[in-house]
Structure 1
Amino acid sequence: MDNLDSAALDCLAALADEGSFEGAAQRLAVTQSAVSQRLRVLESQLGRPLVVRARPLRLTPAGQVLLRLARQWQALRVDAAAELGLPLPRLKMPIAVNADSLATWVLPALDALVQQEETLALELLVDDQAFTQEWLRDGSVLGCVSTGREPLRGCSAQALGVMPYGAFVSPAFLAQRLPQGLHEGNVAAMPFIVFNRKDDMHQRWVERAMDLRAPRLLERHVPSSEAFMQATLMGWGIGVLPLLQVRAALERGELVALRPQAQVPVALYWHQWTLKAPSAAPPLLDRIGQALLAQARCDLEPPPAA
């Protein structure tokens, strides 16, 4: 492990990002044979395969371990170059966030940093908040917004705050489909808008609002937070949405809350790899975390007590 070549680690990261030798070669501005050679050297040093040569290729468990090292090494190189006043290498900074946070408070949080760091190649990857931590575990990202409270080994975790969710419908849907309101007798026949197959927020809300266990609900899948909101406004069904996202629509009378007292609180945490900075200056990854934490303190409800 002491003599691993940084260029070979860059090669492994490019293979993970691009999913092919051709894409990695284009990313690194080298030939495909050079990519293959660097990978072979790395695999020889470790004595095990690092990628599964498929379409698209994927990393082996050993490759995922080295990918984490590659991501951290790249981030530290950028921080060292900034501290020394050297030209900054272009760094892809992959961060995993949940779609609802991306649609509400994450972009404002990162705006000043993105405007300041001209060479920052930020990559925001979207997944359900209960699954983003897996991206961090396998080295695909350097940080994530997650509902997981406990940090992974080698990582730190900070409480961001709580996003409460409620159920909302358009006034037309309420008048046509729910003149007597939503209750145990009609909930199974009402369409709920759902983000994707991982999304169980609608079930969690029904369980909390009506004390029903494992309800079987009619679902209409809309895999985009913005389109999800639009589908709710158009009367496609009941949307279980973050209060932060619907506040303006409620004030304009475009949406109506169902059982407003029934809310699902979702506590969010920022997880990141712990990188040792070459100086007292905060590394770029730390600055991203600080920006997210500051915005979350403004937009989210206070985090739960430790």
Structure 2
Amino acid sequence: MEISQEGLQTLAAVLREGTFDAAATSLHITPSAVSQRIKALETSVGRVVLRRTKPATATPDGELLVRLAKQWELLREETRSELMGSGTADQDSARIHLPIAANADSLATWFLPVLARMHHEHPVAIEVVRDDESQNTRFLRSGEVLAAITSDPLGIRGCTTRALGSMRYLPVATPDYVARWLPDGPTAAALSRAPMVLFDRNDYIQRDVLTTLAAQPVSPPISYIPASTEFHLAVELGVGWGAVPEVQIADALGAGRVIPIVDHHVDIPLFWQYWKLSSPILDALTDLTVAAAAEHLVPPPDRLR
């Protein structure tokens, strides 16, 4: 079985860009050449590696080849960096591209210092793809990223999963908001009228909290604030109630600018999933991520440690 680097590169481009035409543009070749390379790769391995959908997706066998493509790309860049040496004038231009996925709340609270330390200690240029923690596994499956913070404990084929701990969320609002909209507490009737803040339409955390509090379907007026810091500021300004990370809202709680709308919290387990690569750079990022999570998150159950 012959697996060409050209074929792997083309497969990764199609999955990253979503279509043959877009992949052709990124590779500076024709769509016909992309198609020929993918067919040659499939003939070589004797497997279908792509689902010809829009966007294109990898088959299970294609996911294995994407892992190989990313492994080759990362190891090639690490080797080039080592060959150039840490004292050369071209050190900055030789930084290793490291694509990962993270959720907004982690970036806003505990994960950004991890990335800063990586940049200080290693010759990397980290690209962060940001989405909800429940959505990030798709970036791993497509080969777009090498590692991701997710809320999915189920391992992806070819990936290692590490439990990080849980981020604790508290449903809060301003005292004036509670007095106006929830004077008798978060009853179903009150929650159906009380304005609510969501991060975006994939924000299952807020919807799960609402379902738990209301115990029946309700449809409150919703404001969407798709940025972590601005989300909790919107709650502090009385735009609506929302479940905010405890570490983010602690100062406002202490100062009385917000209060809990109910004696209840939600713990969202987070996991670090990464491709099984023999990579010192990825190993270093994993170690820093796990250590920072142990310091800032609610510890995982013993069975997940």
Say whether 1:147 aligns with 2:135: no
TM-score, reference length from structure 1: 0.81
**1:280 matched residue in structure 2:** none
Matched, 1:236 2:256: no
In the alignment, the residues of structure 2 paired with residue 115 and residue 27 of structure 1 have an alpha-carbon distance, to the nearest angstrom, of: 30
1:217 paired to 2:219: yes
Distance 2:176 2:216 in 1: 28
Identity rate, percent:
34
Q: Write out per-residue CA displacement over residues 229-269 of structure 1, whole angstroms, 9 at most, x where no aligned residue.
A: 2321222211111111212222343322222x300111111
Instruction: Quote the residue 2:44 is aligned against.
Output: 45
2:297 corresponding residue in structure 1:
300
AA aligned opposite 2:242 = G
* Counterpart position of 2:250: 247
TM-score by length of 2: 0.81
Give, in whole Å, the separation in 1 of the partners of 2:96 and 2:113: 21
Which of the pair is proportionally richer in helix?
2
Pair 152,64 (structure 1): closer, same or farther in 2 beyond 3 Å? closer
SS at match of 1:303: coil
Which secondary structure does the structure 2 equivalent of 1:218 belong to?
A: coil
Paired with 1:122 and 1:219, the residues of 2 have a C-alpha distance of: 38
Q: Is the 8 A contact 1:190 1:217 kept in 2?
A: no
2:188, 2:216 within 8 Å by CA — same for their partners in 1? Answer: no
- How far off its partner does 1:163 sit? 0.9
Q: How does 1:1-306 map to 2 (within 5 A)?
A: 1=1, 3-19=2-18, 24=23, 30-32=28-30, 38-39=37-38, 41-46=40-45, 58-61=56-59, 63-84=62-83, 91-118=96-123, 120-208=124-212, 210=213, 212-220=214-222, 221-259=224-262, 261-277=263-279, 283-306=280-303
Rounded to whole Å, the distance in 2 between the matches of 1:177 and 1:57 is 44
CA contact (8 A) 2:101 2:148 kept: yes
- Shift in Å, 1:125: 1.7
Alpha-carbon distance, 1:189 to partner: 1.8
CA distance in 2, matches of 1:48, 1:184: 53
Report the 3-state secondary structure (helix = DSSP H, G, I; strand = E; otherwise coil) of the residue aligned with 2:15: helix
- The secondary structure found in structure 2 opposite 1:8 is helix
Alignment root-mean-square deviation, CA: 3.1
Judged with a 3 Å threshold, the aligned counterparts in structure 2 of structure 1 residues 266 and 57 are, in CA distance, closer, same or farther, namely closer
**For 2:298 and 2:218, how far apart are their aligned partners in 1?**
30
- How many matched pairs? 294
How far off its partner does 1:193 sit?
1.3
1:187 alignment partner AA: L
Q: Following TM superposition, by how much is the alpha carbon of 1:111 offset from its aligned partner in structure 2, in angstroms?
A: 0.7
5+ residue gaps, structure 2, are 86-90
- After alignment, is 8-17 or 240-249 more displaced? 8-17
Distance 1:188 1:31 in 2: 55
Residues 148 and 249 (structure 1), Cα distance of their counterparts in 2 relative to 1, 3 Å cut: same
CA offsets 1:186-221 (integer angstroms, 9 cap, x no match): 22221221223332323432454x4x5353231413
Q: Closer, same or farther in 2 for the Cα pair 1:129/1:102, shift >3 Å?
A: same
Contact 1:99 1:224 in 2 (8 A): yes
8 Å Cα contact 1:166-1:205 kept in structure 2 = no
